[in-house]
Structure 1
Amino acid sequence: MALKLVNLGFHSSIPCSPRPLKDRFVVRCSKVEQISFTESENSLIEALLGIQGRGRSSSPQQLNAVERAVQVLERLGGVPDPAAASIEDGKRILFRFDRAAFSFKFLPFKVPYPVPFRLLGDEAKGWLDTTYLSSSGNLHISKGNKGTTFVLQKQTEPRQRLLTAISSGKGIKEAIDELISLKQNIGQEPELEDGEWQMMWNSQTVTDSWIENAVNGLMGKQIIRKNGGIKFLVDILLGLKFSMSGNFVKTGSGVYDVTMDDAAIIGGPFGYPLELKNNFILELLYSDEKLRVSRGINNVIFVHVRTDALR
């Protein structure tokens, strides 16, 4: 399933706290109106966290979770007849492409895409079917004539704003500060959640040595076990993986002593052991079942997103 998440904007960057209220999730903000999601809508938002662009680099578990959440909402239906630009049954929007351009981060202008849309006739036309619109208008699901599923959200919450900042490369520190402040305001102690966690961003520029980056957790995934086990897993090339395992012990509020002492290059059923060892303090700055901000080796700040299926 092709996915595209589009954020249409939000009111403020003031910290907000999601709290369950019966079957709805209400994001409480001190100076803006409340953003309300049903439990089913919140499941879709949770599933989309960490999925970038069209979802091509996402794991099968992530895409399956999104597809299930979309199907649940489509069955519910939402607003019966959404959108003033639609025709026929009140759910289809027609459009025609007339211009396109390339946008590059390193250029202050857009480069025109030389496609003669007017000469393409019906090939430049398309349509979007609205399959779900929330009663609040915050969440919108559409399917296009080429089979693409679009999820559009009008108002976002702090975790989404952090991932958007990482994607754009702008405002990351401010988004992290907002998220940390949110957790402090709620007064909850962060816990090291078990599961498979993909690194999305770190505050240190990687070195020329991939092995050094892998040992320091600057690449790949972290796998956290309930029994106190931890593993770094990095895809190298041609099916080869770097694996480094160890253990963690909680030593304070959100603080863990981590020892990594079992490293190997893995190729299929075979492994080549490496004499590597690392010990560092892991401090959780923010953590929930889906996203984690931590401070690790050499005071590097990490952002990880959980990629396995939610419990």
Structure 2
Amino acid sequence: MAAAATAAAGGLVHLRPPQSAAPRFGASRAPPLRSRRPGQHRRPRRHGAGRVSAGSVAVGEAAYSEPEAALLEALLGVQGRGRAVAPRQLQEVESAVQALEALGGVPDPTSSSLIEGSWQLIFTTRPGTASPIQRTFVGVDSFRIFQEVYLRTDDPRVVNVVRFSESVGDLKVEAEATIEDGKRILFRFDRAAFTFKFLPFKVPYPVPFRLLGDEAKGWLDTTYLSHAGNIRISRGNKGTTFVLQKSPDARQILLSTISAGTGVEEVIDDFISSQNGAEVDLDILVGEWQLLWGTQTEGESWSTLASAGLKDFQIIKEGGQLKNSVSPFPGVSLSARGNICKTGNNNTFSVSMKEGAIRFGGVQFPLDAEGEFVMEILYIDNKIRISRLNQHILVHLRIANAA
């Protein structure tokens, strides 16, 4: 039986999933960015916003230091809490983590009340020793992963929670916890159960912890705890690094909602309405952008998708040169080139596509990709751009600054 379950060490849950097929759960909807009282009308949209300023970044009531903000900025766009991340972005995340660990944060974090409470997992490394539950649940964007830490009770515990959705339920895996020193928590998993909203009872997770012996044990070092108590970095005995946060900011909620794929338009609308407007110039658009989400494009031809930039990637260079690229199939790519220029004092731009090409392997043919479009910038910062292109709402992630 011990061979059928993985070691319970490493911080987040290290258990083998049940042998029976898990039910297929729907995507959960992220909470709204801001609440409205009954009868309160939505505020008019303020189109556009300037770049995020350097220094301390305020998010709701929480304030992040510049190194903490750099970590959150590096994590924007990471899928599956680290399941899919480009090497360059992973390097940025690792550098930001190491910078915070060098600063140290709160000394002796296990002795601080700031470590207590519920923490949401926003990133984890995935070494070869990652547990099956990490591979099964942690990388699914539609699930939310939490770690609850309660050390100042008669029954100290670390509880790992996989929340499938607010309407479906969750899986909780609990461990007895002991403080070894100022950074390390020792734990032993002892119980786990599914709680489904449609059942009046809990469903036990079929792992016999008492028979696992040392495989149910582990430790977790907190290598950084912010002085505001909103960012925590921990490393487990399996070599995994975890980045956790008390309350995600508005941009993180937006991106997690896009990943989940449910309720996106409403969250975008709330997000835009909550921002202060600012003038947008062409230079802030310069860079390489990846399309994360767009309104429906059924019925559009591939040449139209390339011309309008409704799929994949877009590069905007200084001077207004623009290139859209689409890869509908392996070995096949479509591209369209043109120009973008500002049309007036508001945040609208004229997009004029002049020529296109389609490439099959190493062979290229001309493509009719001419088109005229109007782009309105609804929001933009160092990482995220929300725009309206004709009737389409588009959300882009900046992946590089154009040369």
TM over 0.5: yes
Give the TM interval when normalised to the shorter protein. Answer: 0.7 to 0.9
In the other structure, the counterpart of 2:232 is 140
- Cα gap change, 1:226 to 1:142, in 2 (>3 Å): same
Within the candidate set 284, 295, 320, 1:228 is matched to 320
**Structure 1: segments with no counterpart, 5+ residues:** none
In the superposition, the TM-score normalised over structure 2's length comes to 0.62
In the other structure, the counterpart of 1:122 is 214
Within the candidate set 72, 76, 82, 1:45 is matched to 72
Q: CA deviation at 1:95?
A: 3.9
Partners of 1:234 and 1:242 within 8 A in 2: yes
The answer on 1:77 being equivalent to 2:104 is yes
In structure 1, how many angstroms separate the alpha carbons of the residues matched to 2:204 and 2:352? 53
Superposed CA RMSD in Å reads 3.6
Q: Which moved more, 1:249-258 or 1:174-183?
A: 174-183
Within the candidate set 326, 334, 342, 1:250 is matched to 342
Within the candidate set 40, 51, 56, 1:24 is matched to 56
The answer on 1:190 being equivalent to 2:268 is no
Q: CA deviation at 1:249?
A: 1.2
Q: CA deviation at 1:75?
A: 0.4
| Secondary structure, counterpart of 2:82 in structure 1 | coil
Residue type of the partner of 1:46? Answer: E
| Secondary structure, counterpart of 2:377 in structure 1 | strand
The answer on 1:13 being equivalent to 2:34 is yes
Partners of 1:96 and 1:125 within 8 A in 2: yes
Residue type of the partner of 2:108? Answer: D
In the superposition, the TM-score normalised over structure 1's length comes to 0.79
Q: Which moved more, 1:63-72 or 1:267-276?
A: 267-276
- Cα gap change, 1:163 to 1:263, in 2 (>3 Å): same
- Cα gap change, 1:79 to 1:10, in 2 (>3 Å): farther
Residue type of the partner of 2:229? Answer: G
Q: What fraction of aligned residue pairs are identical, expressed as a percent?
A: 50
In the other structure, the counterpart of 1:275 is 368
**Superimposed CA distance per residue, residues 198-218 of structure 1 (whole angstroms, 9 cap, x where no aligned partner):** 111112154485554444423
Residue type of the partner of 1:307? Answer: I
In structure 2, how many angstroms separate the alpha carbons of the residues matched to 1:310 and 1:149? 31
Q: Highest CA radius of gyration, 1 or 2?
A: 2
In the other structure, the counterpart of 1:54 is 81
In structure 1, how many angstroms separate the alpha carbons of the residues matched to 2:222 and 2:178? 9
In structure 1, how many angstroms separate the alpha carbons of the residues matched to 2:216 and 2:51? 42
| Secondary structure, counterpart of 2:90 in structure 1 | helix
**Structure 2: segments with no counterpart, 5+ residues:** 1-11, 13-29, 36-42, 44-49, 111-150, 152-176
The answer on 1:166 being equivalent to 2:258 is yes
**Count of residue pairs the alignment pairs up:** 291
In structure 2, how many angstroms separate the alpha carbons of the residues matched to 1:135 and 1:145? 25
Residue type of the partner of 1:150? Answer: F
In structure 2, how many angstroms separate the alpha carbons of the residues matched to 1:117 and 1:260? 62
In structure 1, how many angstroms separate the alpha carbons of the residues matched to 2:323 and 2:198? 42
